[in-house]
Amino acid sequence: MSSEPANIVNHTIYSSQIVLFTQPDCTYCDRAIVETSWHNYPGVSREVFELEEGEPDTAEIQEYLQEKYGQSAVPYVFISESTSPSAFACACEADIEDPESDREFIGGSDALHSMHEAGRLHEMLLGT
């Protein structure tokens, strides 16, 4: 596997406070998208990266996500309090082994739902 999937994933998870890797026509992905909506978390940036079959790099990105995070099904949910793209650039330039280390991999739809329902996601994202 080339380093391109890792670069795409790392760049994407630094783009917003909430990042979802999803697939079309996925009920669990749809639930994650609704639960992380602007309505529930006003002012919080969110990126939805849709992994569409047949698109370049999709299979490699999914394989990378599965190997790195040990989860075989979408959605992949990442949360961060920081949205600074320059932080990623600095981490890459400094050759830090794990530039996404301040990004928390939440898991999938069930983990996200539990955090949302318990108010822990609100606390992480909005600090209240």
pLDDT tens track for 45-74: 999 999 998 887 899 999 999 999 999 999
Residue 24 lies in a domain: yes
* 13 inside domain: yes
Low-confidence ranges of the chain (pLDDT < 50): 88, 90-96
The answer to whether residue 80 sits within a structural domain is: yes
Q: Which domain holds residue 24?
A: 5-85+102-126
Within the chain, where are the H helices? 4-13, 27-35, 58-69, 85-93, 109-118, 120-126
Report yes or no on 95 lying in a domain.
no
Closest CA to 4 of 71, 50, 45, 63: 63
- Provide the number of structural domains found in the chain: 1
SS3 of residue 70 by DSSP: coil
Check which CATH number belongs to the domain holding 35 and give it: 3.40.30.10
3-class DSSP assignment, residue 69: helix
pLDDT of 57 reads 87
The answer to whether residue 55 is domain-embedded is yes
Q: Are 4 and 60 in contact (CB under 8 A)?
A: yes
Residue 45 included in any domain: yes
User: Is 97 part of any domain?
Assistant: no
pLDDT of residue 101: 57
Question: Is-cis flag, bond preceding 42, omega within 30?
Answer: no
On whether residue 90 sits in a domain, the answer given is no
Taking the C-alpha atoms of residue 65 and residue 72, their distance in angstroms, rounded to an integer, is: 8
